[in-house]
């Protein structure tokens, strides 16, 4: 595989992720809070819980941890599920008549398309997540470049090892939280997000 082509894909993916999964949903959440749009706020609150796995993936990638390829793949599968799964949010959203609704719906579709495409790319590189760090070769480490640049920009005083430690701790907490959700909440509430 051509390293220059992969590097371009990696950087494009990182830039799209920052725009589609961080800045736009943050702006939509603030707009939803201001407009008092309960379904948008509720949907984005669930989104942020799920999408935190992408932030954990960035922390793991800063530490060049191969498992980060698999957490990133999992995040790209879980994010669209979290956006479309909840029946009550979808029903309330269909009834809402505000200027925010079509923008939120457009963002949901854009993030879904991005995650589906990213899942395809992630599957191609999923083998990078199951080999020891020493055997990653020349292509797999290209995925670590954007997170390392992010570290240099915002976390320059923190060592990659310290960031990796916190990434592993957060990944464990996330996995436990997700397990509790699957075992207790999902069987009890099903596709209803509101827990009155």
118-162 confidence digits (pLDDT tens):
999 999 998 898 887 777 788 899 999 999 999 988 887 889 999
Span 71-104, pLDDT tens digits: 999 999 999 999 999 999 999 999 988 899 999 9
Is pLDDT of 195 > 70?
no
Please tell me the distance from the alpha carbon of residue 9 to that of residue 5, in angstroms, as a whole number: 6
More confident residue, 196 or 12: 12
What does pTM read for this prediction? 0.90
Closest to 44 in 3D by CA, of 95, 100, 99:
100
User: How crowded is residue 21: how many other Cβ atoms within 10 Å of its Cβ?
Assistant: 22
- DSSP assignment of 41-69 equals HHHHHHHHHHHHHHHHHHHHHHTT-TTHH
Please tell me the distance from the alpha carbon of residue 77 to that of residue 15, in angstroms, as a whole number: 19
Helices in 63-185 by DSSP H: which ranges? 68-84, 87-95, 100-124, 145-154, 160-180
Is pLDDT of 182 > 90?
yes
């Amino acid at each position: 595989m051509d390293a220059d082509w992969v590097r371009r894909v990696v950087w494009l993916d990182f830039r799209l992720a920052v725009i589609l999964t961080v800045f736009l949903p943050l702006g939509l959440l603030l707009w939803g809070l201001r407009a008092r749009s309960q379904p948008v706020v509720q949907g984005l609150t669930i989104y942020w819980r799920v999408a935190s796995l992408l932030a954990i993936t960035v922390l793991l990638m800063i530490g060049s941890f191969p498992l980060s390829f698999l957490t990133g793949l999992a995040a790209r599968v879980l994010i669209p599920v979290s956006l479309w799964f909840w029946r009550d949010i979808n029903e309330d959203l269909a009834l809402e008549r505000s200027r925010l609704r079509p923008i939120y719906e457009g963002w949901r579709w854009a993030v879904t398309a991005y995650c589906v495409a990213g899942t395809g790319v992630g599957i191609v590189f999923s083998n990078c997540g199951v080999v020891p760090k020493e055997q990653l070769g020349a292509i797999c480490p290209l995925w670590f470049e954007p997170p390392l640049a992010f570290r240099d920009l915002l976390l320059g005083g923190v060592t990659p090892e310290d960031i990796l430690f916190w990434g592993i701790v957060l990944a464990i907490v996330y996995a436990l939280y997700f397990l509790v959700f699957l075992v207790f909440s999902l069987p009890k509430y099903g596709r209803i997000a509101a827990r009155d």
